[in-house]
Amino acid sequence: DDDDDLVLAAAGGIRGGLMGSSQQLGGGLLVDLHASYLATSASVEASTTVFELAAASHLRMSGAYWGLCALSLIRKTNAMDINALVEWVASCQHSDSGGFGADTNHDAHILYTLSAVQILAIVDRMDAIDVKAAADYVAARQCADGSFTGDEWGERDTRFSYCAVSCLALLGRLDAIDVDAATTHVMSCMNFDGGFGCVPGGESHAGQVFTGVGALSIIDPQLRMLSEAQKRTMAAWLAERQTSKGGFNGRPEKLPDVCYSWWVLSALACLGKLHYIDGSKLRAFVLGCQNDERGGISDRPDDEADVYHTFFGIAGLSLLGLDTDVVDAVDARFALPEKVVERILLR
């Protein structure tokens, strides 16, 4: 299944309380191996010395966020050089627009601006950047119809709506945009089958369901803009993404992929419908995608592990609530540790 590289993270704060435990369900998460893998693969130093990572510099900011957040969830943040990370993130902010690029000397984009803010939220270092300039950059991306462009070139997508709402909420600046117009646009991207598309009339995709529901749940955690019938239809479409192997796919007739452990579960968590799926089978699928030699989690069993799937696999396990002995709670709206979101929103 193509991930459509939904380079973002996020979702709602209701954590799954499915019955069971690591011991009851068999082998567990290889925490130490994953910590070692993430510290090597997502560090600032590795991104300039390892060819594969240097070649992926267009994703570097999001890669740093995925790695850091995964480490935070498994309580291993000290495996990263936080000071070097913060210094690099700050160097990626554009002085003219306030937005962030994926790396130094890369164009600013709303996706990487959110990733930068998420990194700084985790380590509590918003003081390292120009917060007002970042908020102004995001707000300037809003169009007259309530949608958002990703950058100056004008592409519109519900991913960018999510990025804008999440980023501004974390910065305490949701008042900088027309929230009603943003809500109306996201709602216009909902389809009759319960899914969401990138734009009005676009094909339903699990990742886009998250971006839609995630944005709406940040605006109103009670999701009062959705009827109960709409919530049930949406949850049913999401539940149908679970395959016979236990994992989720992003669209009908596609293969399961670990990353949808997050995109599907986070949306179900926001809707309060985690009981619609078989959590034990999903957990077994995710754990079966672990590399038991070098660490990391892949999209499917026996494929190559990467930071993206490692983070979303760990975040999915957090939402299941079956591994609380080794994985902290994640907030399904923001794709950040719950303790981080509580710290920010309570300020």
* pTM for the model: 0.90
Q: Count CB-CB contacts under 10 A for residue 254.
A: 16
Burial of 76 (0-12, 13-18, 19+ CB in 10 A): middle
Residue 1 tokens read as: 């299944």
pLDDT of residue 146: 98
Summarize pLDDT for 60-94 with one digit per residue, the tens: 999 999 999 999 999 999 999 999 999 999 999 99
pLDDT of residue 346: 81
- Please check whether residue 176 is in contact with residue 139, taking contact to mean a CB–CB distance below 8 angstroms: yes
Look at residues 152, 162, 177 and name the one whose alpha carbon lies nearest to residue 98.
152
pLDDT of residue 42: 73
Eight-class DSSP state of 77: G
Summarize pLDDT for 144-174 with one digit per residue, the tens: 999 999 999 999 999 999 999 999 999 999 9
Question: What share of the chain in percent tops pLDDT 70?
Answer: 88
- Please check whether residue 293 is in contact with residue 305, taking contact to mean a CB–CB distance below 8 angstroms: no
Whether 25 shows a pLDDT value over 60: the answer reads: no
For residue 70, give every residue at least 6 positions away whose Cβ sits within 8 Å of its Cβ, in sequence order, or none.
34, 38, 307, 310, 311, 314, 315
**Cα 192 from chain centroid?**
25
What's the one-letter identity of residue 130? D
When pLDDT is averaged across residues 134-142 and rounded to a whole number, the result is 98
d(CA 276, CA 239): 6
- Provide the sign of the torsion angle of the four alpha carbons 279, 332, 5, 324, taken in this order: negative
- Helix, strand, coil shares of the chain, percent, nearest 5, are 50, 5, 45
pLDDT of residue 44: 65
